[in-house]
Structure 1
Amino acid sequence: MKTNILLLVISTFINSLAAQITIPAVKANFGVDAELRTGYFTGNVISTSDDWFKNNKLAAGQFIIDTAGAAGIVANYTSNPASRMLSFSRLMKPAFYSVLQNKLAIDAIFHRDFHGDDSTVFASGSNKNGMSPAIWSCPIAQNIPDKNDILDGFTHVRRDGPGVTDSLWMFGGISIENTSGNRYFDFELYQTNIVYNRTTRTFSGYGPTAGHTAWQFNAAGNVVTAGDIIFSAEFSSSSLTLIEARIWVHKNALLTTPVNFNWGGKFDGDGPSAVYGYASILPKTSGNFYTGLQSSGSTWAGPFALVRQDNSVVPDYIPGQFMEFSVNLSKLGIDPASYSNNPCGTPFRRVLIKSRSSTSFTSELKDFIAPFSMFDFPPVDAFTNLLYFCNTFPITPISVINPSPTSTYTWSTPDGNIVGTNTGITINVDAPGTYFVAQQLNVACAYYSRDSVKIFFDSVCRVMNVNLTNFKAAQLNGVAEFSWQASNNNEAANFAVEYSLDGRNFLQLATLPASNETAFADYNLSHALSKINAAVIYFRIKVTAIDGRTKYSNTIVLQNNNGNKLASSVFPNPTHGELWLSVKGTVNETAPIAVWNMQGKLITTATINIVAGENLIQLPGLSNSAAGVYLVKIKTITGSITQKVLKLN
């Protein structure tokens, strides 16, 4: 009788547990209901919850993923069927650290996996969790079971409140080809900038301890160093059955009693003798730390549609094809606010989504979405139109060229003078000196990044009489040919050719002494570019006079055919209105472009076509815009191209 009662209690507990983790839920005002639509909950327009996308203008709630260019991508699937096999990513639409309905949205990403010639798969054999990514094997292409074939992946992190110490939640979503049988997935979160090279089919940038970064603890059980994390999800043919949390540690760490969580009793590395491995963890407090379920019925697949394994494009998921889960990182004890003095610290830097063959954590790995970055916020970039004054020094503005509406910017100077406020995206100064700007992602965060601008002043206003004209450059077979002319040549001591990869920071390439010509002289110089690994290079001439004064030519841009890294440039810069983009594309794609002024006002938008290989594309110009600094941003499959441009009168 007692045995029957005990079995009844256990059965009731298990059923209760399943009910808690598989029913639709709203966590931190984000819908975890196995559908993508904001303002919907279990198919009804009754919730104001946020979600991945929006397909009803009247629906409440914020959509998280940027859908710019979605219509063009779907249209291209029809006009160019080969594009269905391509991968792309979209980042969070709201600015990072935005407060949405009293919840702090930090970052998000949507990623479409490759199709057809997919090389982001694991070779058949012994690739497993716990191994170093250095020894994972990936073939050129391989057929994998359709229930293991990942189509799309989603990740989002937010806090359950407006503050940086409110509970931290991670949301994950995944769509797969087939829904039959049990399916097993891992969301592996790296502290390092791990990357995958499709050409060599190898991983790099992984951690230093057996291919990962290990969590470390002091004798009291406090976290000293945060490491890699993995969430393993199991879905049956009808529901989510388990999410297991593990962290990468040295096996001796299991002898320590952590302050923030409990050990779960499992440890798996690369074989039974592994020193490092993934150890399971559990919350200190009772109750589940996760929720999740899978789509039921015909569910909208989002504005990018769904490309299936046979490259057909469909608007909806079939039942069970989209799976979604949430994890309370704070309850689990792996929220930076719970173990460090920096609540704005990143819980991880890269996400690798994988599928595996069975419930065993060390079963054979199948498909993966190459590691993608999160919390990779651009550092502050300060800029002023003029860096040199003579005779008089007027009140001069210095601005942040890439401002975020959610960041706080504080300025300081050790030797100059700020007129008025020292906070905001623009300050005014009336003295030469070095001006520093510090960026906080949130007013409660520590400083995230810093930049500086140095303004020079010469009260004598010495003028060099040497003038540089007709500066030209050409490139053939890896050799650059330069030519220029100089007037008043007798005042020059030497000419230096300088180069830059960003148009701002220049290095010396070669130097020529001035000739004996007294009035007018022609100069020519050849130099190999084999050691400059970029697709676009900026060049200028620096002339140094006999008395030490210096002067620069205009800057010109040269496409380097030997560059084997993706590089891009918007030029000419400065410009009188005309703008061109030089970029080396990896695939054929349609890319949206937007131009903002320094006040954050959108000036123009357009769409350009980028082909695989070298591109030289004319962009919407600034001929009708006022003089000043503008921000040009182009979103490509491989990332965003962002460049500041100075418009002259």
Structure 2
Amino acid sequence: MIKCLPIVFLCCSIQMVTGQITTPVIKANFGIEADLSSNYFNGTTQLTGDDWFSIGYTGSGQFVIDTTGAAAILAAYISNPATRNKSFSRLMRQAPYTVVNNKLLLDAVFHRDYHGDDSTVFASGSNKNGMTPAMWSCPVSQGIPDKNDILDTYTHVRRDGPNATDSLWMFGGLSLENTTGSRYFDFELYQTDIVYNRSTSSFQGYGPDAGHTSWKFDAAGNIISPGDIIFTAEFSSSSLTLVEARIWVNRTATSIAPVTFKWAGDFDGDGSGATYGYANILPKTAGTFYSGIQSNAATWAGSFALVRVDNSVVNTYLARQFMEFSVNLTKLGIEPASFSNNACGSPFRRVLIKSRASTSFTAELKDFVAPYRMFDYPKVDAYASTIYYCGSMPSATIEVFNPIGTSLYNWTTTNGNIVGPANGTSINVNAAGTYYVTQQLHSQCPTFAKDSVTILYDAVCKVLNVQVTDFTVDADGVEGAIRWNANNNEGAASYMVEFSTDNKIFKNVKTVPASNQPGSATYNLQTALENTGTVTFYRIKIIEKNGAVKYSNTVVIRNSITATSAPFIFPNPAKDEVWLSLVSPTKTSLNIFVNDIAGRYIKTVKVNVNQGANLISLHQLALQPAGVYIINIAGNNATATQKLMLKK
């Protein structure tokens, strides 16, 4: 059973009480009743209603969080208890802009936080809302009170209808270790890609206005550009007592009457004289804009169970352990349609969830969930497996490398020829030219991204293209051996070895005349190497007999072992084998996390890395089915994210 919760909206300068929805409700077909299962509402099963997960009740209601790998995670909790303190995230199981039960789903994230002693907490002291994140301090490891220890968090955004202009709703959920006394937390929404750097225990990527992005208005109160948002909530041992909406502004902006909302009176920055701070806001028109509730009895903890602070794994949340809320961003006047002509714009980019010590907005901050990204949709990336033809021009295919099933792709060309339909994830062409593709997230959205592919054609194939393969540079102090193989060597006039310190401006090291050997030829050059910085880039400039100029791939020489090459996976697209290349300053290990293009977790591959240059076979990746994958590489000395296409 769920307890009905009275909400009192408080503000300093305006004496008012605004009644809010505190009984279990369904908003935009999503249940707000402090329960996690679809087709289940307020203690009873039903045939409709979306939610975070599904326990298996029959009905049309859908769950929004991807549960791929849940069984393996739960099994590891038993077989390897050390995994219980690992943090992980899961994204929305549906593609963005999927219509489910006549509602437009935009994004969702579930995040399991570290618990107990960890570094994603605020150091004891005066870390507060209103400060720049640059000033927040975080320890290497520190415990926090149970009532502030965040266990799981949930965020979901959808439209209350199938259209891009229907009301925009945000849903949030959070569980804490302690269930007694008052609990205070914030959902802070950033416009920038703020991140937490665990190695330096600091935040990076925050906004330019005292560590945030400020909302800006013209003299008439129209929103010129959006900024950061924070929703702060307070739960007592028996009820939700406060939910407040604030936006980051220059103090002078509070003298302007906004068109889409109104000021509620409070302004809190870093001290009483702060130029920038969070000002609380209310809807322009009367009526509720949020609802909130907490579990009044034990309730199912979802597909990933729950790991408590004592490392026990349980299947239920305790009474008052799980809290849930909804906010109508359209009603509040801060959705994209409120400040632009693009209702498909992102209302924010990152979510930072924090707990506080007391009811004061500027109370000491305690625990946090490292900022996670939302609305990070893949932008169209087009490619053709062959872009150069000679002699004859056959029908060729150009494809979208990273298609989203719900996006619309349209192709055009001004100097080529498209054979057949000019929309979809691929086209057929039969002429040289440049082909453009645009991506729409929804039929009612403007262009989201665009890309192009150029097909080249040469009617004469008398001189074959010269290709350099197996290009290596072996350094031995100031001397080095430069080697390369050249295919179709008879087409080359000379080879120029070039170097660069910035991979942009190259200078000639030595010119090597082409040999008379036809077909494949091997070249060896012993020469002094340039050593002007931590890295030097080498390439081969090929001068063909017909005057054409081509370049080889670039080889990077590390002049200092402290320089680390970013991990790189190749070939791409791949078929039978996949390789990882990197240079590491130490002997270490890397975790390679494999997700599909929608962000769903597939598997984790662990590899050992030696000091210096490494070339490691990732045969496990090549065994995956054909498709596009997102590869996240994480280690102490190297991190990278890369798209990989597998073709079978």
- Which band: TM-score by shorter chain? 0.7 to 0.9
Size of the alignment, in residue pairs? 616
Cross-structure match for 1:430? 430
Shift of 1:336: 1.1
2:12 maps to what in 1? Answer: none
Structure 2 CA distance, aligned partners of 1:464 and 1:544? 13
Q: Give distance in 1, aligned partners of 2:32 and 2:77.
A: 29
In 2, Cα distance between equivalents of 1:574 and 1:17: 60
Identify unmatched segments of 5+ residues in structure 2: 1-5, 10-15, 611-615
Cα contact 2:573–2:644 (8 A) shared by 1 = no
Supply the distance in 1 between the matched residues of 2:27 and 2:479 (Cα, whole angstroms): 59
Residues 506 and 413 (structure 1 numbering): CA distance in 2 closer, same or farther, change over 3 Å? farther
Pair 1:28–1:593, CA change in 2 (3 A): closer
Deviation of 1:370 (Å): 1.1
* Structure 1 residue 517: Cα displacement: 4.9
Rate the CA distance shift 1:317–1:202 in 2: closer, same or farther, 3 A. same
TM superposition shift of 1:59: 4.5
- Classify 1:622/1:306 alpha carbon distance in 2 versus 1 (closer, same or farther; 3 Å): closer
Conservation of the 8 A alpha-carbon contact between 1:38 and 1:63: yes
TM-score, length basis structure 2: 0.85
Q: State the Cα deviation string for residues 92-121 of structure 1 (Å, max 9, x = none).
A: 110001101000000111111123452111
* Deviation digits for residues 606-625 of structure 1 (CA, Å, limit 9, x no counterpart): 744325867743125479x9
Aligned AA for 2:463? Answer: V
The aligned residue for residue 366 of structure 1 is 366
Distance in 2 separating the partners of 1:529 and 1:64? 53
1-structure distance, mates of 2:205, 2:361: 23
Paired amino acid for 1:252: T
Query: How far is 1:639 from its partner?
Result: 9.1
Note closer, same or farther for the CA distance 1:612–1:375 as it changes in structure 2 (3 Å cut): farther
My pick for the range that moved more, 343-352 or 113-122, is: 113-122
Q: Against the structure 1 CA distance between its residues 391 and 479, is the aligned structure 2 distance closer, same or farther, given a 3 Å change threshold?
A: same
- Counterparts of residues 228-627 of structure 1 (less than 5 Å): 228-464=228-464, 468=468, 471=471, 483-486=483-486, 488=489, 491-496=492-497, 512-515=510-513, 517-519=515-517, 521-524=522-525, 543-550=542-549, 564=564, 567-569=567-569, 571-573=570-572, 575=574, 577-580=576-579, 591=593, 607-610=603-606, 616-619=617-620, 621=622
Cα offsets for 1:461-492 (capped at 9, x unmatched): 24248665655577999999752234757943
Question: Equivalent residue of 1:109, what SS?
Answer: strand
Give the 3 Å change call, closer, same or farther, for CA 163–466 of structure 1 in structure 2.
Answer: closer
CA distance in 2, matches of 1:68, 1:478: 52
Q: Give 3-state SS (helix, strand or coil) of 2:619's partner.
A: strand
* 3-state SS in 1 of match to 2:178: coil
> CA separation in 2, counterparts of 1:435 and 1:179?
59
Mapped contact 2:472–2:482 kept (Cα < 8 A) = yes
Q: Are 2:100 and 1:96 aligned?
A: no
Counterpart CA distance in 2 for 1:108 and 1:558 is 43
Q: CA deviation at 1:576?
A: 5.3
Deviations 1:66-98 (A, max 9, x none): 111112222222333222222211111100011
Q: Please list every run of 5 or more consecutive structure 1 residues that lacks an aligned counterpart in the other structure.
A: 1-10, 597-601
The answer on 1:631 being equivalent to 2:631 is: no
- Paired residue type of 2:547: G
* Structure 1 stretch displaced more, 395-404 or 631-640: 631-640
Aligned partners of 2:531, 2:88: CA distance in 1, in Å?
Answer: 36
Amino acid at match of 1:609: V
Tell me the equivalent position of 2:26: 26
| RMSD of aligned Cα (Å) | 3.8
Residues 1:86 and 1:22: Cα distance change in structure 2 (over 3 Å): same
Letter in 2 for 1:514: V
Query: Partner of 2:618: helix, strand, or coil?
Result: strand
**How far did residue 43 of structure 1 move?**
2.7
Question: Is residue 148 of structure 1 aligned with residue 145 of structure 2?
Answer: no
Give the counterpart letter for 2:523 in structure 1. Answer: D
Report the CA distance shift for 1:565/1:311 in structure 2 as closer, same or farther (over 3 A): farther
Q: How far 1:632 moved relative to its partner? A: 3.5
User: 268-277 or 112-121: which moved more?
Assistant: 112-121
1:589-616 Cα distance to aligned partner (Å, 9 max, x none): 68556699xxxxx9xx974432586774
Distance 1:448 1:310, change over 3 A: same
Q: CA deviation at 1:393?
A: 1.1
Q: For residues 319 and 586 of structure 1, what CA distance do their matches in structure 2 show?
A: 44
| 2:8–2:241 Cα contact (<8 Å) kept | no
- Distance (Å, rounded) in 2 between the aligned partners of 1:330 and 1:423: 33
Query: Quick check: 185-194 or 559-568, which moved more?
Result: 559-568
1:100-119 aligned at under 5 Å gives the runs 100-119=100-119
Aligned to 2:224: 224
The answer for the alignment partner of 1:6 in structure 2 is none
| CA 1:358–1:590: 2 relative to 1, 3 Å | same
Q: 1:498 to 1:330 in 2, by over 3 A?
A: farther
* Cα separation, 1, equivalents of 2:25 and 2:111: 24
